[in-house]
Chain A
Amino acid sequence: MSAIIQVEALSKAYSYKLALKQVSFEVERQSFVGILGHNGSGKSTLIKLLCGLSKPTHGRITIGGWSIPQELGAVRAQLGLVSHALMLSPMLTARENLRFYGRLYDVPALDERINSLLETVGLTRFADQAIKTFSRGMQQRLSIARAFLHDPSILLLDEPFTGLDQTASTMLINLLEQAQAQGRTIVMVTHQVELALQYCDRLLVLSRGQLQYAGQATDFSLAQYEEILRR
């Protein structure tokens, strides 16, 4: 398998604080990678850099052969982001939200695509309801549909399980497994170590902005993680 994401000697500084220090790793196509670390370890900074929402202070990021920030337009078309935040307009209906984002990405046969995604996430019945009336689980399912809308090859997930109940979490896991089976690469930032150990192929562990572990999830344990956090 070839690398779809390549990160070389990446550093990011905010004023005088170095949020990421010389981080290098590769993510292979169709893999499910978990990024672990405590608060302030640099996980969210890394996701922002991968999305091109923030410019690296040093280093190089290549996604699908395109460089960030030079070829940002091409990179963005390949990315889908799901975060713990809604990233949707609460006053609009589920269908209006998806139509808006679909048009921004110029998705072909948009109405068919929206219907199919609403069915996948189990929201067909609620398609024409304003999403402010949705439960947190329903909103997150719609958020996933939004991220899948333009058929991205890479899904970036920033704490996607925050605030989800057991049913919604299970549904999200199923959707992610389906996405991986369909050939998508998944990069997930999470606090939930057990979850990452269970579902991810590879893990990246960050502590104080430095990469402390990059390897197979099967070779990593909860004890090792706690040891890294204690250092």
Chain B
Amino acid sequence: MTPLFWRACWLIFRKDWLQEQRSRELISLMTLFGLLSTLTFSFALQLDRLSRVESVSGILWVTILFAMILGMDRSAGNDRENETFLAILLSPIPRAAIFIGKSIANGLFALTIGAILIGLMTFLYNLPLLQPMIFLILLLLVVGLSSVGTLLATMTVQTRSRSTLLPIVMLPTALPLVLAAVSATIPLIAQSDVNNSIAMWIQLMAVLDAVYFTLAVLLFDFVVEE
């Protein structure tokens, strides 16, 4: 991967980021969805202290997953509507650079939402979520989900039923990563001394990220071609 390759990644990322800075469409959409889901769960589930520890990690990561699905679908849809994506595909830059640039942009939007939701849930559920390890789990989750999500959103946006199809293909694919994130988070919130178990789940997430990223880079070329 040459400096020109990374320059192309940067250009794609910067275009998406600048576009979002102006429109604030994706971040607002994802934040609003995240806030409403969190509040709904908070009011609907009357949880005692013990159940809260077990449920909140699931609520947190699943809400982030759904918010990401919403955001990535909209992002791919915007590119499709104006055929901006077509113009980018016509340029002589590697397809992998397009994928990486878009994944990083999608990932940064998700990290922003994730940080907001972690803060909100700490307040709503009175649990110790503001920990460096929770943010590491967020990072690992977002890397994997934005890799696989960017690929799948690019694929489903070409179909008529794109908004319904993306969750259908994304949820089973994302499940192992979400399960690992939930399993790593529970002992952290419970503040139990099970460092080995947390390390194992985090390692598993890193391996899943590597697998998702590699597969997504390799498959992107086929997905964008008719």
Contacts and interface: CB of A to CB of B under 8 A. Distances in A.
B84 A88 contact: yes
B92 to A, nearest CB: 5
Interface string B84-114: 1011111111000000000000000000000
Given A87-B82, A100-B11, A130-B22, A53 B87 contact: no
Contact of B19 (A53, A83, A91): A91
Contact of B225 (A14, A54, A85): A54
B8 interface: yes
Interface in A44-97: 48, 51, 53-55, 73-74, 76-77, 79, 81, 83, 85-92, 96
Nearest to A84: B83
B91 A104 contact: yes
A38 interface: no
Contacts of B8: 104
B19 A146 contact: no
B91 A86 contact: no
A92 B19 contact: yes
Contacts of A199: none
A131 to B, nearest CB: 10
A101 interface: yes
A105 interface: yes
Contact of A105 (B19, B22, B89, B91): B91
Q: Which of A54, A55, A91, A130 has the most CB of B within 10 A?
A: A91
Dominant SS at the B interface?
helix
B226 interface: yes
Nearest to B7: A103
B195 interface: no
A76 B91 contact: yes
B50 interface: no
Contacts of A87: 82-84, 86-87
Contact of B82 (A74, A86, A101, A103): A86
Contacts of A51: 90
B86 to A, nearest CB: 6
A76 B86 contact: no
A212 B7 CA distance: 46
B49 interface: no
Interface string B69-86: 000000000000011101
Interface of A: 14, 48, 51, 53-55, 73-74, 76-77, 79, 81, 83, 85-92, 96, 100-101, 103-106, 130, 146
Interface of B: 4, 7-8, 11, 14-15, 18-19, 22-23, 82-84, 86-93, 225-226
Minimum-distance CB pairs A-B, first 3: A85-B83, A87-B87, A104-B91
Given A88-B84, A89-B15, A100-B11, 18 more contacts: A14-B226, A53-B90, A53-B225, A76-B92, A85-B83, A86-B84, A87-B83, A87-B84, A88-B87, A91-B22, A92-B15, A92-B18, A92-B19, A92-B22, A100-B14, A100-B15, A104-B8, A104-B91
